[in-house]
Chain A
Amino acid sequence: MHADPAGVLTGTHFLDGDHACCEGCLAAGARFASGYPITPSTEVVERFASRIPTVGGTFIQMEDELAASICLQGAVWGGAKAFTVTSGPGFSLMMEHIGYAAMTETPCVFVNVQRGGPSTGLPTLPAQADMMQARWGSHGDYGIIAICPNSPQECFDLTIKAFNLSEQYRVPVMVMMDEVVGHMTEKVVIPSADQLDVTPRKHTHKSPADYLPYQCNGDGSLVPEMAHAGEGYKFHITGLTHDERGYPNMTVKVQDQLVRRLCAKIENAKDLVAYEAENLEGADVVVVSYGITSRVAQRAIDQARAQGLKVGKLRLIIAWPFPEKVIRELAPKVKAFVVPELNLGQMVREVERAARGAAKTIHVGHAGGGVHQPEAIVKAIVEANQ
């Protein structure tokens, strides 16, 4: 389906990542946002608050992130596409509701413009230290999708992708930006609405008499069809373990079926792999990076190549689910993976796990507050090559 032109600001713009993300939300068809101010993410909803009354829709500034992160889910069940935006401390407060969205299969988007932590940390400075929290932060087993833009253009493009995937899989999708990407200003090209694909809600075509909210259709899809409040379905939604009718059923059997499906619909999906690859063929060292760090890594890769080293580049666009197979198949062919990230060791654990000992894994950590010096990454590449 094409985007609704009302939300598409077609043209060539000079935007920061936060504003581009907001335009991505609007282009994707999001007409509802609930938020609570927090640096460095607030500009996303500030722009939404200014744009939405002229597009048609609602922004509400809630009393806290607990409220913001569930308010948007009410809006989704009322029939809207909806999102919230936050950073570190606010993301921590939202965790219970990421689990609620996963459990109730509420399609929605959580944008996290990452800043330094823990706690209040570095409110105005970047980090990439919420990557594990994005995957595992809510209690229990579940699957989510996390996507990592590295430029304002991607803040636009990948936010649309985030909405589309959330609708396709009925899952909360995290847009994992960082302070630098959020605040850097670059050219952003917004195409016309008819060139933008948006995924409509997976709405049921069944009559209320035939509809069960959590029944999969038997077509192999693990994603059930949705209905909205006010359409006559009189359905029940709960965060308790539930059967196909949506009714609580706290048995080991139903728990097993439900939780395995919630994980499998994401982990087994074939089209949830998105990365940028360069010179992987014949590489001795592959640099695995994402978000802002991928742009610093590019400089390091160029410098190492200038020294005659065979360096490949693997940039994660979708970080969760982790592209395990890609790393696993690459590992026996390379000497090492170098993983720079603005944390003290998060996605590197996934790389190491997926490599299964077939290649060295070298982390280039940074506690946050700035980006890496490319030299630190070059040094790691040189060491890895030995």
Chain B
Amino acid sequence: MNERMGEAPWYGRVTSATVSGFTAECWSEDTEGARVPRFGELVCAVDGPAPVYALVTDVATGPADSTRPVQLRGAPGVPLEEVHRQHPHVLPLLRTGFSATTVGHGRDGTLRPSLPGSPPPVLAGVRGCTDDELAQVCRSPDFVPLLMLTGVLGDQALAALVRRAAATHPDPSGELVRLCREIGAHYAGDPQRWMTLLRLVDPGGEA
């Protein structure tokens, strides 16, 4: 579980962490082999006593120094690339980062759907996950209650996770229904919220 996986892209390094989640900062856009994760993607903080699996519940971008807000540049109608070309000093001042909610950790070669004993260390590398890891996480979605605490972001990230997991399954539509039914038990107290989640997952409902 600890070995670096060739095909999985690198997303960044942990900047702060608790056992229930972490934030990470991404490398700049031109870094070789690095990318920005998508919202709702499964990621893994690989360094530390145990790899920590987490779901990206927010992606944020803005000035690296929060005391120096970015000023408005470029006239109306000017394309973004043109703005960057005219003001080359702005881009290096920006940072992109993401926060992720823990959904499990690796121990003895298997993926457990529970919180790790300790948070991933700061500056631990964060990479993307394989389809196999995605399937393992979704086998028993016991992480849902923790995710639910993050509110609407968590629900939407969960919907994205479920859709991705089902899409890689041999029986996509069957798996989608199975996963939703399992997850549904956690939403029993808030049927309205669950219906919303189901509509997000609904393959026919995609706009």
Do A and B actually bind?
no
Q: Mark A residues whose CB is within 8 Å of B.
A: none
Q: Mark B residues whose CB is within 8 Å of A.
A: none
